[in-house]
Amino acid sequence: MTEQVILTLNAGSSSLKFALFTAASQPKRLWSGAIDRIGMPNTHYQLSDARHTVVVDEPGHLGDHDMALTRLLGAIESLPGGLDLVAVGHRVVHGGPDCDCPKRVTPALLARLRRLTPLAPLHMPPNLAGIDAVRKTRPDLLQVTCFDTSFHHDLPHLARMTPLPRAYADDGIRRYGFHGLSYEYITETLRQDGVDTDAERIIIAHLGNGASMAALRGGEPVETSMGFSTIAGLPMGTRTGDLDPGIILFLMQEKGTSVDDIADLLYHQSGLLGVSGLSRNMQDLLGSHEAPAAEAVDYFCYQAKLHLARLTGALGGLNRLVFTGGIGENSAEIRGRICAGLGYLGIEVESGANKAGQTVISKSGTRVIVEARATDEEKMIARHVAAQLAIHPMSHRTGTEG
C-alpha cells in the first residue's frame, strides 16, 4: 500500500532544500536533504532519513533547477515504502501586500509574484524557478506557496509605514517583515506547550545566516526588525542590516559605485563576513583568534541587544524571549552575550541551563522567561499544504492548480 506524501521546497539561487512529509493533518517528516551548487561544477546531493542519518551523499552535475528537480523526483520514486507524491509546498520569501496566507499556485498568482521580483530581487527568482520546475516536470501536482511575509501581513499601521512621501506606498513601498514561517512555527509550538500567547508579550529572535526579531502581543505580531527588504534590521551573515542611507548616497555620488555593485555590497559582502574579513559563519568566528573575527561577533551581539530593547518599546514590556534559528538555537555564547546587561528588562540567563542547551535558560523567578527552541519552517509548510489538500482533495489528480 502506498503512502501519500508532501514535498516541501526552499529554492535558492544555486540550491534546493527539500523535505518529504506524510500527507496528514499533522505531517510527519520522512526524508530531507539538499542539492547544492546547482549550475556549477561539483553539484552535491544529500539525503537523510527521519532520524537525520545521511543515506545518500554524492556529487554530480545539475545545470539548472529543472535538472535538480528531475533528479529529486526520481530519487523520491526510488525510496522505500511506495511513496505517492500528491503535493508540493514552496517557501516564497515575498507575497506582497495582498498575500496574507498560503495560496494555491495558479497562473494569476504566478503573474502577481513575478511582478514582486523587484521587492526581493535575490530571493524571488529562485523561489519562482522551483515552482516553474515542478510545473514543467509534474504539472499534475497541487502546488502551494507559503510566504515569509504573511505572518506580518496585519502589522499595525504605524509599524507598516515608512517616512517617505505617501505616494510611494502606492508602489508597495512599506514595511513587510520576513522569516514569517519560522515565527509562525514557534508561536504554534508555544501554544501547544501550554503558553498563553494571547496573554504574553513575546519577542522571538530568529538568528542565523539571515537574522531578524519579531514582537508579539495578544498572539499577533506588532513589530519586527526587518522591513521593506531582507537587508534591514540586524547584521547577518553577508547582509548589512540597518545602514545609514547617506552611506549609499556617498558611495554612488562620490565614489561612482554602480547600483549593481551597491546591491552586491549590501547583500553579499557585508555583515559578519564584511566586518570579520574571514567568514559569514558564526561558528567559524567564535573559533577564531583573529581580532576582526571577535569584533564581528561583538558587533552582532551589540546590534541584537539594541534591536531587542527597541522591540520592548513596541510591546510596552516583555514576558518571554525565544531564541531560534541556527545561531539562536545552538549558540549558548551568543545567547548569553545578547542577554548580558539586560537585567533592567527582567532578562537574566542561568549560565548552566544555557550552556546545557535546555529549553528554558532564564533564572528561576525572573520576570522574563528566556528560551531556546528549534524552528521547523519545512514542517510549517507541510501543515499548510495538508490543509489545502483537505480543502481540495482531488486537485493534485486533475491538475486544476493551473
Contacts of 377 (CB under 8 A, 6+ apart): 10, 91, 181, 182, 185
Question: Which has the closest alpha carbon to 357: 379, 377, 374, 340?
Answer: 374
Alpha-carbon span 248 to 285, nearest angstrom: 27
CB atoms inside a 10 Å sphere around CB 256: 8
DSSP codes, 208-219: SSSEEEEEEETT
What is the CB neighbour count within 10 angstroms for residue 108?
Answer: 10
Distance in angstroms (rounded) separating the CA atoms of residues 170 and 161:
12
Helix (H, G, I), strand (E, B) or coil at 146: strand
d(CA 295, CA 301): 10
- The answer to whether the beta carbons of residues 385 and 90 sit under 8 Å apart is no
3-state secondary structure of 98: coil
Contact 172, 229 (CB under 8 A): no
CA atoms within 13 A on the CB side of 234: 35
Residue positions annotated with a catalytic role:
148
The candidate with the shortest Cα–Cα distance to 241, out of 214, 209, 216, is: 209
Residue matched to cell numbers 548569553: 336
Distance between first and last Cα of the chain:
29
The rounded distance, in Å, linking the Cα atoms of 302 and 295 is 10
Buried b (16+ CB within 10 A) or exposed e, 343-382: eebbbbbbeebbeeeeeebbeeeeebbbbbbebbbbbbbb
CA atoms within 13 A on the CB side of 6: 29
Would you say 35 and 11 are in contact if contact means Cβ atoms under 8 Å apart?
no
Rounded CA separation 204/304 (Å): 12
| Grid cell locating 337 | 552575550
